Amino acid sequence: MLFNSLQFAIFLPIVFLLYWFLSPCPNGDGAKPRYSLFRYIGGFVPGEVQLKVQNLLVVIASYIFYGWWDYRFLFLIAFTSVCSWCSGLLIGNAHTAPRSNRAKAWMIVNIILNLSILGVFKYYDFFITELCSLLHIHAERHLLHIILPVGISFYTFQALSYSIDVYRGKITPTKDVTAFFAFIAFFPQLVAGPIERASNLLPQFATRRTFSYRQAIDGSEQILWGLFKKIVIADNCAAYVDPVWVYHETQDGTTLIMGAVLFTFQIYGDFSGYSDIAIGTAKLFGIRLIRNFNNPYFSRDIAEFWRRWHISLTTWFKDYVYIPLGGSRPDMSRTISRYGISSAHVKRWEKAIIARNTLVIFLLSGIWHGANWTFVAWGVYHALIFMPLILFGRNRRYTQTLPTWKDTLKILITFCIVTIGWVIFRADSITSAWNYLMGMYHFDGMFYNDGNVSKTLIMCVLMVLVEWVQRDKAHPLDLSRQHILTQAAICLLLVEIIIFFLPETPSPFIYFQF
């Protein structure tokens, strides 16, 4: 079920009303919502059961939402959930001492199990094809040709983070299987994130949620902004970008540059639009998800970009890969004793380890996106740009301040660097990416104008302006300080813009394929 579909427009209000109708009512003098079923029968049903009923609704709704696409893969989510839930309990039981060996073994079993599923469904065919081509063997009969289950990378990582956090003692394992299933499958973020941490989401399913008018309005506004980015920006950019990519070898440089710039907006509108809809929808259910994008195209260097782009994935890799590898402050004592390094060379070794760690997380980040060398190249490209900043300790220059007009040049340079990266990301093959990049410097043809490019650019500029003005807010349509009528008028205007620029065929969310 797509967020920008009629089915979802019907599904969401039904689930929303049922969810709050099953809102738990505590016994005693606590405030009891008038609309809740348990207000009347709550005396007969214990409080924790009421909460389980509400969580069960979340699980059922989420499974319907996912099963709408392909019900067969529901078993996969259920299997991942059961394995991770059990591993959490086993790790918890084995925790006689912090990070005990038995606990570690259970965690590793869960990691292997989850990564094996991911590997088979996402990477098996790719690696077999590459291996066969290396060995000059015909690959076809070894391939599985399995459809990639939507969102598998997202919920697998979420499940992994749970067992690792339990092992690390950051969270206690939950015995509530319903809450855990809801945590893995919560439909707003199930198929394209944000990748939630158990420490943030799981406790919210374990406690009673109360309806907040302000939060619901804020969520609705964020959904609207997400729809604007998806429908008006991403889908309209796609209408230009797709044909440019199909015929890129015969296009003029100006067209290719325009295609690259519009793809930069497309992928942002598509993915951050999805995240906004997900976060906004979760707010309607009284759930707070983590922020996934923080105006990434206003970044002043690539390090800042990676703090603002797909935050949930970046921090995942940071917490579970980069820091365990030593991060940017590796523990050199073991390395010194193992290799007998003299103190004069310690600094150099430290930098080498930092460079390796950086390369590893960018490579993993690239591979996470899909089984294609272009994603690997994209990861390496970003690693190479990022490395000088981290090696010279200049990667945290812009952690506190908001970008201003004075930073325009730095922002533009970063935008160009990111745009080149997206060309590699968007290409079907390394050759195709190379040809596209080379074609961008040949200005000897006609500029391809599909008749809509100017209006698409105007809409992109509008989005940039709104995001710039609202860059200190949680999301660009955060209108909480405005009068309710002003909010309604702005939202109404946005609805009309969405209708006016609705493309003929909506395109699926790009990140579904990951």
Partner 1 sequence: MKKYITAIFLFVITAIVLNTILDVAISCHLQGNGDRRYEGWNDIINRPINADLLIIGSSRARLQFSPMIIDSVTGLNVYNMGTDGEPLNQWKVKYSVYSHYQEKRPDVLVITIGYFGTFGSGIGFEREQYFPHLIIPYVRQQFRQIEPFTWAELYVPLYRYTTYMGLYSLLTGWRDDGLYKGYKPMDKKWDGTAYNLQESWHFWYDEDKLQQFDEFLSARKAEGILLVFCYPPIYIGLTHKVDNIDECYQFFQSLADKYDIPIMDYTYSPLCNDTAYFYNATHLNKLGAESFSLQFALDLDNVLRSTH
Interface residues with partner 1 (CB under 8 A) are 6, 20, 33-35, 211, 213, 216-217, 220, 451-452, 455, 484, 488, 491-492, 495-496, 499-504
Q: How many residues can be counted in the chain?
A: 514
CA max distance for the chain? 79
Q: Which is nearer to partner 1, 163 or 456 (CB)?
A: 456
DSSP 8-state secondary structure symbol assigned to residue 190: H
Structure tokens at 32: 């009891």
Nearer to partner 1, 394 or 455 (CB): 455
Please, what is the minimum distance in Å from the beta carbon of residue 496 to partner 1?
7
Instruction: Work out how close the CB of 4 gets to partner 1 at its nearest, in angstroms, rounded to a whole number.
Output: 12
Query: Do residues 299 and 417 lie in contact, with contact meaning Cβ atoms separated by under 8 Å?
Result: no
Residue 242 burial (CB count, 10 A): 13
Distance CA 9, CA 11 (A): 6
Catalytic-role residue among 95, 310, 369, 475: 369
Of 35 and 40, nearer to partner 1 (C-beta) is 35
Q: Which is nearer to partner 1, 150 or 494 (CB)?
A: 494
Give the whole-angstrom CA distance, residue 170 versus residue 202.
13
DSSP assignment of 436-491 equals HHHHTT---SPPP--S-HHHHHHHHHHHHHHHHHTTTSSSTT--TTS-HHHHHHHH
String of b and e for 462-496 (b: at least 16 CB within 10 Å)? ebeebbbebeeeebbbebeeeeeeebeebbeebee
- The CA angle 203-514-199, to the nearest 5 degrees, is 15
Q: How far is the CB of 264 from partner 1 (least distance, A)?
A: 22
Concerning whether 369 is annotated as a catalytic residue, the answer is: yes
Gyration radius from the chain CA atoms: 24
Q: Which is nearer to partner 1, 42 or 379 (CB)?
A: 42
Phi, psi of 11 (to 5 degrees): -60, -45
* CB closer to partner 1, 93 vs 480: 480
Among all residues, which ones are annotated catalytic? 369
